Amino acid sequence: MQFHNTLTGQKEAFVPLDPNRVTMYVCGPTVYSFAHIGNYRPPVVFDTLARVLRRRYPSVVYARNITDIDDKINAAAAREGVDIGVITSRYAAAYHEDLASLGVAPTDAEPKVTEHIPQIISMIERLIGSGHAYAAEGHVLFHTLSFADYGRLSKRDEQSLMAGARVEVAPYKRHAGDFVLWKPSSDDQPGWASPWGRGRPGWHIECSAMSEAVLGDSIDIHGGGHDLIFPHHENEIAQSVCAHGGATYARYWLHNGFVNVNHEKMSKSLGNVLLVRDLLKTLPGEVIRLVLLTGHYRQPLDWTDEVASDARKKLDRLYGALRDLADVVPATGVTAPDAFVAALEDDLNTPMALAELFELVRSANKAQSVDDKARLKAQLLDAGALLGILQQDPIAWFSQQPAGSALSAEQIEQQLEARSAARKARQWAESDRIRDELAAQGVIIEDSAQGTRWRYA
């Protein structure tokens, strides 16, 4: 197995610290609103990676946090005049619903920041104790100059960090690059008692503290969006390494590319922010998942209507092969082909894995013997399971009624009965009339030796 490691900028063989306990941490959402399609790329990508890892290693501990204390949450709560818990539980629930729709399996741990305040305070105290952090005016700051490796992940040196500081430097900072570990809360803001007064954690410390609490001092894989490399992950490294006496924090850093919409960056000002919530109104979650796996995770991904309809057609082809194997019992003990697994184990190359999957489909469609069919069906299902797709009944897949369709499955079946009668009597004109009528309403007919099937276009 190998991964592209942001830390070194190279593809490296993956060697876990402890093969009997592989650990992975992925930065989760800040729950202050409904999440957009880009927010779901990391969970889908790393869910797929977790599936591949679990196949290879006996124990994988995968943690993805929920950030439930943050100034954007505070703002949302203030706007609605409710406690932040109302906001965070609402959007965390929505997040979980969407994840389920996208076929994302639950993680082994889902730490929340508000449940780890003591751990956060403890880590800050240790950082102060070792001279890597200092308290000033109710704040506690991490002193970046105290950590020689600062900037290594994002490949920034002191000069460029200084040059890039585009926010005015707070007077209590010793150095422009220093960042907040703890900040004071006013009476109307959420806060917790601490050695530095009532306050709340800064943005980066929570991941370091929760990763430590759930996975340990050193973890194998840390994932997240490309944009988190700096400052978030750079700061996590600084906090964790310094809190752990120099021990390596994460050994492999994996970052996914951004999702754009119609060739543009998603932004509120452009009004092109796509919520998964909304996409799910017209698209099966499986289609959305496949779109997110269509390109390599490190590359930018452009979301367009065409990409979505392509994914749907791909699933039609995949499920079509399974539908033809409906009466075949999958062979036992048969797993996804080596080439397919090898593609995923090579830096999670999902496009190549999909290519292998389609080769499998071609073989399945051509297979004659029962043995071949049984083997290919088992391989298809197992490969699909690794990608988190293809797990539903093919008939159910083709029977999903699109949002715009006026015809229910029952109505279609009725029409088909009439058509079958006409065909039996060799009344082709009547038969074709019914077919055209259905086609006009978005239903495609497929006659076969086993009878007539249909599907929504």
Partner RNA sequence: GGCUGCGUGGCAGAACGGUCAUGCAGAGGACUGCAAAUCCUCGUACGUCGGUUCGACUCCGGCCGCAGCCUCCA
Numbered residues of the known binding site for ATP: 268
Task: Map tokens 């065409």 to a residue.
Answer: 306
Answer yes or no: are the C-beta atoms of 427 and 416 closer than 8 Å: no
Cβ-based nearer residue to RNA, 268 or 333: 268
Instruction: Say how far apart CA 272 and CA 36 lie, in whole Å.
Output: 10
Cβ-based nearer residue to RNA, 116 or 222: 222
Instruction: Say how far apart CA 221 and CA 242 lie, in whole Å.
Output: 19
3-state secondary structure 208-276: HHHHHHHCCCCEEEEEEEHHHHHHHHHHHHHHHHHHCCCCCCEEEEEEECCEEECCEECCCCCCCCCEH
Answer yes or no: are the C-beta atoms of 221 and 23 closer than 8 Å: yes
Task: Map tokens 């530095």 to a residue.
Answer: 196
Cβ-based nearer residue to RNA, 123 or 416: 416
Task: Map tokens 């306990």 to a residue.
Answer: 21
Instruction: Say how far apart CA 43 and CA 48 lie, in whole Å.
Output: 8
Output the DSSP codes for 342-375. HHHHBT--HHHHHHHHHHHHHHHHH--SHHHHHH
- Cis previous bond, 171, omega within 30: no
Closest CA to 53 of 130, 105, 127, 102: 105
Least distance between RNA and beta carbon 204 (Å): 8
What value, to the nearest 5°, has the Cα angle with vertex 140 and ends 137 and 141?
Answer: 115
Task: Map tokens 């239903």 to a residue.
Answer: 443
State the Rg of the chain over Cα.
26
Instruction: Say how far apart CA 41 and CA 39 lie, in whole Å.
Output: 6
Least distance between RNA and beta carbon 454 (Å): 9
Cβ-based nearer residue to RNA, 393 or 428: 428
Least distance between RNA and beta carbon 403 (Å): 20
Cβ-based nearer residue to RNA, 281 or 366: 366
What's at 398, amino acid-wise? F
Cβ-based nearer residue to RNA, 213 or 360: 360
Closest CA to 253 of 232, 229, 231, 218: 229
Least distance between RNA and beta carbon 246 (Å): 22
Least distance between RNA and beta carbon 304 (Å): 7
Task: Map tokens 């490691």 to a residue.
Answer: 5
State the binding site for Zn(2+): 27, 207, 232, 236
Cβ-based nearer residue to RNA, 246 or 428: 428
Length of the chain, in residues: 457
Cβ-based nearer residue to RNA, 59 or 160: 160
> Which uninterrupted H or E stretch holds 150?
none
Cβ-based nearer residue to RNA, 21 or 277: 277
Cβ-based nearer residue to RNA, 21 or 312: 312
State the binding site: 27, 207, 232, 236, 268
Dihedral sign for Cα 81, 86, 88, 94, please.
negative
Answer yes or no: are the C-beta atoms of 302 and 260 closer than 8 Å: yes
Answer yes or no: are the C-beta atoms of 420 and 452 closer than 8 Å: yes
DSSP label at 114? G
